[in-house]
Structure 1
Amino acid sequence: DVSAPILLWLQGGPGASSMFGLFIENGPFQITKHCKIECRKYSWTKSFSMLYIDQPVGTGFSFTDDDKGYAKNLNESTDNVYNALNQFFLMFNELSRNEFYVTGESYAGKFAPALAYKIQNDINSKINLKGIAVGNAFVDPISYLDLNSLLYEMSLIDKQQRRLFEAKEMEIKELIKQEQLSEAFKKYEILFRNSCNGKSLFFNFTGYNSYYSLIHQNEECGSERLSRFLNKCYVKKQLHVGNRTYKGDVKSNFQVVTSFMKDYFLSAKEMLSVVMDNYRVMLYSGNLDIIVAPVFNNRFLNNLRWKHRDEYLKAERKIWRFGKEENIVGYIKNVANFYEVIIRNSGHMVPLDKPEAAFEMIQKFVNNQL
């Protein structure tokens, strides 16, 4: 359908490739455990025109031969994506009237509102922006530095470990307040990703290799097999990417990650509030996520200043059921053009864990039926 709404998908990170969304979460094809391609049952392309962009530069197959080409902050990466979109609609002018939504996951909680804000403030923009939809949105980083309480209440750490974990989180918060953002990021890395022995404090306490789900201790989300597939010579030839190596995740994108070090803990909440005042917005979360647990986003939203805040605080959350058996899929809180959605039994990547529910959700949101 040439008139179908266009959904731009931006992965998180920063440094995670949108090819993950395309091949692992919601694109027309998926990669099996044996690195074979098969059709996806609940592909978002069945209802929408999907556009997947690898950004910031250096992510996926995108590249620069000059260190100055790497984006160093959210503003620079937003400018790059906006320029790419303008080029896209210049080439495919017939699509410029289609409804346009910015979607994504995780750090796209900053990418998406920043891009929407950019489009809104460009009086010459011809992009028909209607809204944004982000999963487990990493909007206001300091709001998520209370994981000691979540891990303790889920019995993943004990009281003694909680005290140490909380102390480390407090150190990071203090560094953020002092605007020592690079130091804050380095301590955050030790807490959740890497330490001197190659393991994070989170791993040493919980045994979990993944902070994307309370259920899966060693979740292999598909990024490794995606890298194997996309780095095959015949695949790269078909994609016209030359001999470039696909760099799909944060671990393989050191340059991108370090370039964003000072930007990582800066909030996008002010841009989000402006977008919420002017467009349709959906923030959805898997109830089993750890790193961007929905309880933290709910707390953040309760304090966010926007024109429907008072109504939001009084709004009733409703149970969402669908399917022949009317199973409980999740919970929805709606005020004006804003939707807060919780999807049951899913973690950080909702379309991966609950593909049918995610597809139903995005269709209903775009069609104003949620």
Structure 2
Amino acid sequence: MGPAAQARALLGLLLVAAAAASPENFLRLPSSAPRQLAPRFPRSDAVDLIRALNLHPADASPRRPSAGDAAAPAGTLVERPLRLASLADGGGALARRWGTSATAPGTTASPTPTTQGCSTSSSSRGGARRIPVVIWLTGGPGCSSELALFYENGPFHIADNMSLVWNDFGWDQASNLIYVDQPTGTGFSYSSDSRDTRHNEASISDDLYAFLQAFFTEHPTYAKNDFYITGESYAGHYIPAFASRVHQGNKNNEGIHINLKGFAIGNGLTDPAIQYKAYPDYALDMGLITKAQYNKISKIVPTCEFAVKLCGTSGTVSCLAAYVVCNTIFGSIRTIIGSKNYYDIRKPCVGSLCYDFSNLEKFLNLKSVRESLGVGDIEFVSCSPTVYQAMLLDWMRNLEVGIPDLLESDIKVLIYAGEYDLICNWLGNSRWVNSMEWSGKEAFVSSSEKPFTVDGKEAGVLKSHGPLSFLKVHDAGHMVPMDQPKAALEMLKRWTSGNLSDPSSKLDFTM
């Protein structure tokens, strides 16, 4: 298709999107729909989606550190130990578990701009060096990984009195765990140069790779450990690109060799063409819409598929048209379900909000916490509309395309999804996994499903062949480690030990 034909197709897509967004279009969205659900421009939509999580972010443009911040050479990692004075019992629980004072070994923060704006926290309960290194990336795009650190799989949760309490199912029990705030402008990460704002996976992956090189330079012992990449939601884009960048770096002998063994995506957005097409099917199957509503919404699916095809993998302006067209599908369903939580359809949103994560910002804005982290006057941004908007051309790109090469290199891939999530539902994820072209496709598709059991009870349904696994998690929504923490920890333990389907699998955490 030549440039002129592409321009005509793009104009047609935008006209279709405009028609689909109109109250008089064939979807006939209810006139009583809440104002915040009415079609808006992408930036307004970004702010609304983020505020729906009760995060109330400020507009996070790249920021400068405070005047007193010490400079560090570019490409280096600046760390500081965290003294956890906020533990609920004043450190007693910490002493019992670590056998130390209230400074947790291995728990550090790096709020510096010297690794492309990445802000990190890491920990390993017990300090065992042989267990794997696991990095976690939260999606958004533009949402802080501290959301997962304190509400999902980190060592601690935040109590209402702003103290920290132990998470009995933190992933630090089975790994040396790293959280990264990225892209630049997310969480406490920042840059003094607006050119550091990221718009695509290539630049994000380069930043993350540079961070890993700095981390393993500072901690060479951990470079020998198995390394896994994990995350959820929009990290379905970040993770495959990051894994490919690490794999490429290893093949090209760039810097320190990273012992990449696998990556896991939870309720992710990876192959938009397949996943957006699954929205009406999932909504109908779960009783969220009627058959008549399904038929109307499904009429936009072919246009969405064409738009995504036009977008391809290049991230051109046609990808913005695809974003507008395809999100008409989700927006229509979201309008119909009204007050239901589209991250967990079993639950209502609380008022105009769906989850209350406000304690995170309260905690990270405490003077004592900010002093411990060494972040100066940098503003913490839970989810950044600016980062979200900067990534709009990346949204509809297909990131599945790089995964087959990783599978052929025997890098393990785990795709898991809570069954009650609408926005990145298990059905769409299952479909793209089964459609993926690789040497093991036929055997994977024909493999039988097996129960994933925890404590003798079925916690999910597992399908595996070779390095590829898909796990549908029962009784969970978008954030599986928050909804089913024990099952999520068991999943991590068994997967990293190579025995995902074996409930008797145990890890040796000896030094």
Measure the CA separation in 2 of the matches of 1:124 and 1:103. 24
8 Å Cα contact 1:283-1:340 kept in structure 2: yes
- 2:261 maps to a residue whose letter is K
8 Å Cα contact 2:174-2:492 kept in structure 1: no
- Equivalent residue for 1:18? 145
Q: Does 1:300 align with 2:432?
A: yes
Deviations 1:214-237 (CA, angstroms, capped at 9, x unpaired): 211217444332122222333222
Quick one: which of 107, 110, 114 aligns to 2:234?
Answer: 107
- Equivalent residue for 1:215? 346
- Equivalent residue for 2:487? 357
- Equivalent residue for 1:346? 476
Question: What TM-score results when the alignment is normalised by the length of structure 1?
Answer: 0.91
Q: Does 1:36 align with 2:163?
A: yes
Measure the CA separation in 1 of the matches of 2:361 and 2:174. 27
- 1:242 maps to a residue whose letter is G
Deviations 1:274-311 (CA, angstroms, capped at 9, x unpaired): 12222111111111111111111111122101121111
Quick one: which of 256, 261, 269 aligns to 2:400?
Answer: 269
Q: By how many angstroms is 1:58 displaced?
A: 0.7
Seen in structure 2, the aligned counterparts of structure 1 residues 294 and 168 have a Cα distance that, compared at 3 Å, is same
Q: Does 1:224 align with 2:351?
A: no
Partner of 2:294, secondary structure, is helix
8 Å Cα contact 2:276-2:326 kept in structure 1: no
Structural mapping, 1:144-159, within 5 Å:
144-146=275-277, 147-159=279-291
Seen in structure 2, the aligned counterparts of structure 1 residues 31 and 161 have a Cα distance that, compared at 3 Å, is same
Seen in structure 2, the aligned counterparts of structure 1 residues 119 and 248 have a Cα distance that, compared at 3 Å, is same
Q: By how many angstroms is 1:113 displaced?
A: 1.5
Structural mapping, 1:248-287, within 5 Å:
248-249=382-383, 253-278=384-409, 279-287=411-419
Q: By how many angstroms is 1:162 displaced?
A: 2.9
Partner of 2:273, secondary structure, is helix
- Equivalent residue for 1:131? 262
Q: Does 1:290 align with 2:428?
A: no
Seen in structure 2, the aligned counterparts of structure 1 residues 170 and 241 have a Cα distance that, compared at 3 Å, is farther
Q: By how many angstroms is 1:39 displaced?
A: 0.7
- Equivalent residue for 1:197? none
Measure the CA separation in 1 of the matches of 2:131 and 2:152. 20
8 Å Cα contact 2:145-2:181 kept in structure 1: yes
Q: By how many angstroms is 1:331 displaced?
A: 1.1
- Equivalent residue for 1:233? 367
Seen in structure 2, the aligned counterparts of structure 1 residues 33 and 140 have a Cα distance that, compared at 3 Å, is farther
Measure the CA separation in 1 of the matches of 2:347 and 2:163. 24
Measure the CA separation in 1 of the matches of 2:327 and 2:143. 16
Seen in structure 2, the aligned counterparts of structure 1 residues 143 and 311 have a Cα distance that, compared at 3 Å, is same
Q: By how many angstroms is 1:245 displaced?
A: 1.6
Measure the CA separation in 1 of the matches of 2:302 and 2:334. 19
Q: By how many angstroms is 1:10 displaced?
A: 0.7
8 Å Cα contact 2:187-2:380 kept in structure 1: yes
Measure the CA separation in 2 of the matches of 1:313 and 1:189. 29
Seen in structure 2, the aligned counterparts of structure 1 residues 362 and 222 have a Cα distance that, compared at 3 Å, is farther
- Equivalent residue for 1:315? 447
Deviations 1:107-162 (CA, angstroms, capped at 9, x unpaired): 22221111111111122141111111121122111211131222123222224433
Q: By how many angstroms is 1:188 displaced?
A: 5.0
Measure the CA separation in 1 of the matches of 2:306 and 2:361. 37
RMSD: 1.9
Deviations 1:49-75 (CA, angstroms, capped at 9, x unpaired): 001111111111111232211111011
Measure the CA separation in 2 of the matches of 1:222 and 1:43. 20
8 Å Cα contact 1:223-1:248 kept in structure 2: no
Measure the CA separation in 1 of the matches of 2:333 and 2:369. 37
Deviations 1:166-221 (CA, angstroms, capped at 9, x unpaired): 345544433333332112324555665xxxxxxx5444311135321121121744
Q: By how many angstroms is 1:13 displaced?
A: 1.4
Structural mapping, 1:179-198, within 5 Å:
179=311, 180-187=318-325, 192=330
Seen in structure 2, the aligned counterparts of structure 1 residues 33 and 174 have a Cα distance that, compared at 3 Å, is farther
Seen in structure 2, the aligned counterparts of structure 1 residues 320 and 235 have a Cα distance that, compared at 3 Å, is same
8 Å Cα contact 1:17-1:55 kept in structure 2: yes
Percent identity between matched residues is 29
Q: By how many angstroms is 1:88 displaced?
A: 0.5
8 Å Cα contact 2:289-2:333 kept in structure 1: no
8 Å Cα contact 1:24-1:222 kept in structure 2: no
Quick one: which of 219, 226, 245 aligns to 2:379?
Answer: 245
Measure the CA separation in 2 of the matches of 1:151 and 1:290. 8
Question: What TM-score results when the alignment is normalised by the length of structure 2?
Answer: 0.67
Measure the CA separation in 1 of the matches of 2:466 and 2:495. 13
Seen in structure 2, the aligned counterparts of structure 1 residues 170 and 65 have a Cα distance that, compared at 3 Å, is farther
- 2:192 maps to a residue whose letter is D
Partner of 1:215, secondary structure, is strand
Partner of 1:289, secondary structure, is coil
Q: Does 1:67 align with 2:201?
A: no
- Equivalent residue for 2:314? none
Which structure: larger Rg?
Answer: 2
- 1:143 maps to a residue whose letter is I
Tell me the number of residue pairs that the alignment of Structure 1 and Structure 2 aligns: 358
